[in-house]
Amino acid sequence: MNNTIELEDSYCAQNYKPLPVVLVKGEGVYVWDDQGNKYLDMMSAYSAVSHGHCHPQLIKILIKQANELNIVSRAFYTDKLAPLLEKACQLTGQDKALPMNTGAEAVETALKAARKWGYQVKDIKPEQAEIIACENNFHGRTIAIVGMSSEQQYKRGFGPFPAGFKRVEFGNPEALKNAITPNTAAFLVEPIQGEGGIIVPAAGYLAECARICRDNNVLLICDEIQTGLGRTGKLLASDYDQVKPDGLILGKALGGGLLPVSMFLARKDVMDVFTPGDHGSTFGGNPLASAVALEALNIIERDNLADRAFELGEYFMQALRAINSDLIIDVRGKGLLIGMEINPAKTTARSICEKLMTKGVLSKETHETIVRFAPPLVITKEQIDDAIDAIKDVM
């Protein structure tokens, strides 16, 4: 066994099962292992590396800010946070934002905001607020969030879980309508379920959910941690249905592949429920993260990464669908968030990923039957062709 792998297995909790490769370097869409082998990265750290590895401009900003001011906490103002929040709100059409670090932290922030809004603005009786999520959702790994999950492995051994959550069928607006009560504060939904298997709902689903929420004075909160910031071919996946949610959760690509940066954005009456001391984060909104995140947003806008993802995603999916193999059941996705469903009677998605690794392509299975393809948005057609050649060989 590789010494590095053996060392990590000895000292690290076994909460992941990595492919047997030790990565030491990254540039653009490529990574290299400790043996000098080169790979196409088809994972992008679950969309966190949308800009590509070690983007020169982001590295430049990181180094510049690291030499000036790094961490001072939100106990003081800094010159970097306000421009980031202004840019994020202007791009997304939201009124205000609250910065955090990880996606799960931003989801927890959204849950707290929704509940307090329910009590203060909607006048839900104390301790009675409900939040509706979807079957097959993935919003993170905290106790409250896994309590919303329908995946038993995420929950087994971690209970008891907080009350106040219920689930409805994803892609079914009528199920949402039937689940709403006077105590419902919010509907939390991924426009496309990523970890759930790249599940794309029918066109118009989110728009109908928005109408139902509006008619019932319920907040529509879109978790776009993975689907946002150009990944699906538009700035936000909710843009496909021309929906501006009442609350929006961003993360992953917001950190430019360098730092954990996330935020909850919402309309003014939702965000104004927070008062000093209600919520916080030692590292959230720090100047180093803020400087990098602002440049990450500027690059997404300047380089039209959403348009690239749309065009190249269509090209990639067409090429995958043209592969003649009885191992492939389905190819689905939006932009450069693509899932290839494998016939479980023939093989496993893990096996496909292991074989792709030997061909110089790194990917990851989800739910045992889906191979995920989500490369950096800076990928080229020629590099996609290289990936397709490798996939054909493996099939």
Asked if residue 30 and residue 165 are part of one domain, the reply reads no
The pLDDT of residue 26: 98
Q: Is 138 an active-site residue?
A: yes
| CATH code: domain of residue 128 | 3.40.640.10
Asked if 231 and 366 sit in the same domain, the reply is no
**Per-residue model confidence (pLDDT) at position 285:** 98
Question: What is the average pLDDT across 224-234?
Answer: 98
Query: Does 330 fall in a domain?
Result: no
pLDDT over 70 percentage in the chain: 100
Confidence (pLDDT) at 326: 95
Residue 367 has pLDDT above 90, yes or no: no
Per-residue pLDDT band for 246 (boundaries 50, 70, 90) equals very high
Active-site residue identified among 80, 87, 96, 138: 138
Q: In the block, which residue shows the tokens 């900003």?
A: 61
pLDDT of residue 148: 94
Provide the 8-state DSSP code for 264: E
| Residue 229 pLDDT grade (very low, low, confident, very high; cuts 50, 70, 90) | very high
Instruction: Dump pLDDT digits (tens) for 314-331.
Output: 999 999 999 999 999 999
Digit-coded pLDDT (tens) for 204-221:
999 999 999 999 999 999
Q: What tokens does 14 get? A: 């076994």
User: Could you give the C-alpha distances from 26 to 30, 33, 55, 59, 376, in angstroms and in order?
Assistant: 6, 9, 10, 13, 12
38 is catalytic: no
Q: Is residue 120 part of a domain?
A: yes
The predicted-structure confidence for 286-304, as pLDDT tens digits, reads as follows 999 999 999 999 999 999 9
Q: Exposure of 90 by Cβ count < 10 A (0-12 exposed, 13-18 middle, 19+ buried)?
A: exposed
- Rounded to whole angstroms, how far apart are CA atoms 173 and 275? 34
Mean pLDDT over each residue of the chain, to the nearest integer: 97
110 with 155, same domain? yes
Q: Is 283 a catalytic residue?
A: no
Which residue stretches of 168-304 are H helix?
Answer: 173-179, 205-215, 268-271, 287-302
d(CA 381, CA 218): 43
What are the two backbone dihedrals, phi and then psi, of residue 314, each rounded to the nearest 5 degrees? -60, -40
**Contact predicate 231/337, CB 8 Å:** yes
Owning domain of residue 13: 3-54+304-325+345-384
Closest CA to 257 of 64, 54, 29: 54
Which is the catalytic residue, given 33, 41, 187, 223? 223
Distance separating alpha carbons of residues 364 and 370, to the nearest angstrom: 8
Residues 17 and 99 both lie in one domain: no
Q: Where is the domain boundary, 302, 336, 359?
A: 302
Cα dihedral 299, 64, 264, 363 in deg (nearest 10): 60
Residue 1 in this model has a pLDDT that exceeds 80: no
The domain total for the chain is 2
CA proximity to 223, closest of 49, 103, 375:
103
Give the active site residue among 116, 252, 334, 364. Answer: 252
Instruction: Clarify whether residues 217 and 185 are in a common domain.
Output: yes
- Rounded Cα distance, 76 and 66, in Å: 18
Domain contains 65: yes
Do 133 and 71 fall within a single domain? yes
Does residue 123 belong to any structural domain of this protein?
Answer: yes
CA–chain centroid gap for 308, Å, is 18
Q: What is the largest CA-CA distance in the chain?
A: 61
Assigned domain for 332 exists:
no
Same-domain status, 153 and 245: yes
| pLDDT, position 340 | 98
Q: Are residues 169 and 33 in the same domain?
A: no
Token output for 125: 């009786």
The mean per-residue pLDDT over the stretch 66-89 comes to: 97
Where is average pLDDT lowest: 100-109, 144-153, 183-192, 239-248? 144-153
Residue 212 lies in a domain: yes
For residues 232-252, give the mean pLDDT: 98
The pLDDT score that the predictor gives to residue 54 is 98
Residues 31 and 160 in one domain: no
Question: Residue 340 domain-assigned?
Answer: no
Residue 339 lies in a domain: no
Whole-number pLDDT of residue 325:
96
Q: Say yes or no: 309 and 298 in one domain.
A: no
Are residues 224 and 84 located together in one domain of the fold? yes
pLDDT tens sequence across 81-102: 999 999 999 999 999 999 999 9
Same domain as 41, residue 140:
no
Query: What CATH number is given to the structural domain containing 380?
Result: 3.90.1150.10
